[in-house]
Amino acid sequence: MALAAVAVFFSATAHDSRGSGVGAVVLVLLLRLASGLRLAGPLEPYLLTSQFEPWLNLARAPVAWDPIVRSLWVSLLWGAAFLDAA
């Protein structure tokens, strides 16, 4: 959902359909790189790419809902910010 908002933002700012997909992929790659190299520091738990892994808890026997709820809130904030900017 948040990635779709990022794509809408890039589509609105670039006025090009290719720019939206490329922009969203580049943003995800840059956030993954920042997370992997520990460049984000204290902001790492709030990166959009850090919110992908908590959803794997749905496949566990006792579902850990706290990380999923936190991931949902962070993703909603990212999505709202990019949709507002678009």
d(CA 33, CA 58): 26
d(CA 24, CA 14): 12
Contacts 24+ apart (CB under 8 A), 30-39: none
Q: How do the pLDDT tens digits run along the chain, 86 residues long?
A: 888 888 888 888 887 777 788 888 888 899 888 888 888 788 888 888 888 888 888 888 888 888 889 989 998 998 999 899 98
For residue 26, what are the domain limits?
2-85
Q: Among candidates 45, 53, 34, 40, which has minimal Cα distance to 74? A: 45
Provide the whole-model pTM. Answer: 0.77
pLDDT (0 to 100) of residue 86: 86
> Cα Rg for the chain, rounded, in angstroms?
14
Domains identified in the chain, total number:
1
| Amino acid symbol at 86 | A
